[in-house]
Every structure is written in C-alpha cells, then in structure tokens.
Amino acid sequence: MRKPFVPLVLLLVAVVVTSCTTTRWVNTGGYWLESVNTPDHIANPFLTEKGVYVDDSLTVKLEMWDDGFDVHIKNLGKEPLLIRWDECRYTDEMGTTHKVMHMKNRHLLTGAIVKGGAVCDDFLAPDAQDYSRYDELTPLWRIHSYKSKAEAEAARPDSSSVSVTLALQKGGVTDDYIFTFAGDDYQTSKVEYFDEKKALFTWDLTLMLMFALFAFTAIVI
C-alpha cells in the first residue's frame, strides 16, 4: 500500500508558512509638529499654522508618516545649501537617537547640495529600519516592540515626543534644526510580521524532513 506522501508534504509546507511570522506588541500614538529649535543666530525663525518652518534663508516642511518623514527644503538664498545627511538624526519616544537614511541614496549617508532658489524633496527614516526589502519599510512605532501586551503597556508613556534633527550647512557653518513632534493618545496593539531568518531556518528544516520522508517512503513501498 502506498504511503500518503503528498498530504504529509502539504502539511510540512503549511507548517513553514505558519511558523514564519512573529507576534509582537507595539504602542502607537498620534503626532503633530509642535516646535522647531534653531541656533540663536538664525534670523526670523517662524513656524506657520500649516506646519511649515520659515526663516530668512530657507523653508522646511517635515511631514511624519508611519515609516518615516517626507522632507521638503527650499533654499531662499543664492548661496548653496548642503544637507549633511550623515549628521542628521532621529530621536524616538524612548529618547534613543538613531542615524538616518534618506531614500534617494538609501545605502549612502552622503551630502546633498541645494542650489540657490532650488528645492530638495526627499524621504528620511531612521537606520533602525529593515532595508533588506526595498519595497517595505518598518513603521517607526515598531522600533520598540514587546513580546507581551503587559510589557508594552508598562512601557507606554501617557505623552511623549519624537524629533528629527536636520544638519544644514551654509558657507562652512553647519546648523542643527530640531523638529519636535508631540504625541499622545497611545494605543497598544498586536502585530504579526514576516521573520526572514526564521523562514530560512524553517524552510531548510522542512526540506530535510521532506527528503527524509521521501527516502523512507521509497524504502517501505
């Protein structure tokens, strides 16, 4: 009598699929741009009602999304403006500071020159992101995730803030512009995501089991 080899193989494949996800608990909240801090020598700094920062030399609009920030910088002067991406940083709600990457040069922390009167549009995200997949970005709120709901709730602040520091250079002088986003209304929720390392291990193990099952079936038939 022929052994049920195919159903067992299908069962093993199902095990691979179900065992490649990891369950974590995260805290998410609502954020809005609260303030922009600049050095004292910056002339006429101002934050508009629409969340646009303006001074005598440039305008900056920083819009926060789940996985990073849209960056729009306009150089109002004639002198070139250098964005020193290697000195820019993101500080999360736990006070941890991260270097950043920007999407036009995802793997290179290089400078970007904005000529006088020109505009730079980019996307900024902390380097804690998983860039192994170009079409997927880890949400900012998943940087700190927890194994249990109780652990996540214990770490959840009533209110907090995150910030982005843009290092902008003109004429050899680099100034830090600190954009602070206030947050509240935190929610604790469960997320499941694909674990690539676990998937590779499980798939290798499954192939070994399938080979052993095939060999055993060939012997007993």
Mean pLDDT throughout 70-97?
93
pTM value is 0.75
| pLDDT digit string, tens, across residues 117-135 | 999 999 998 885 554 444 4
The stretch 156-162 carries a mean pLDDT of 85
Q: What is the mean pLDDT of residues 69-84?
A: 94
Tokens 């954009």 belong to residue: 179
Say yes or no to pLDDT of 86 above 80.
yes
Specify which residues 30 forms β-bridges with.
Answer: 184
- The structural domains of the chain, ordered by start, are 31-127+158-193 (2.60.40)
pLDDT of residue 134: 41
pLDDT at 156: 85
Closest alpha carbon to 177 in 110, 89, 51, 75: 89
The residues, ordered by sequence, that sit 6+ positions from 143 with a Cβ below 8 Å of its Cβ are 92, 96, 98, 126, 128
Angle at 59 between CA 57 and CA 64, to 5 degrees: 150
Report residue 104's pLDDT band, with 50, 70 and 90 as the boundaries.
low
Summarised one tens digit per residue, pLDDT across range 11-46 is: 555 555 555 778 889 988 889 999 999 999 999 999
Q: What pLDDT, on a 0 to 100 scale, did the predictor assign at position 42?
A: 94
Amino acid 158: pLDDT: 78
Q: If you average pLDDT over every residue of the chain, what do you get? A: 81
Whole-angstrom Cα distance, residue 132 to residue 137?
9
What are the pLDDT digits (tens) for 176-204? 999 999 988 888 999 886 666 655 655 55
- Whether the pLDDT of residue 215 is over 70: the answer is no
| Confidence (pLDDT) at 39 | 95
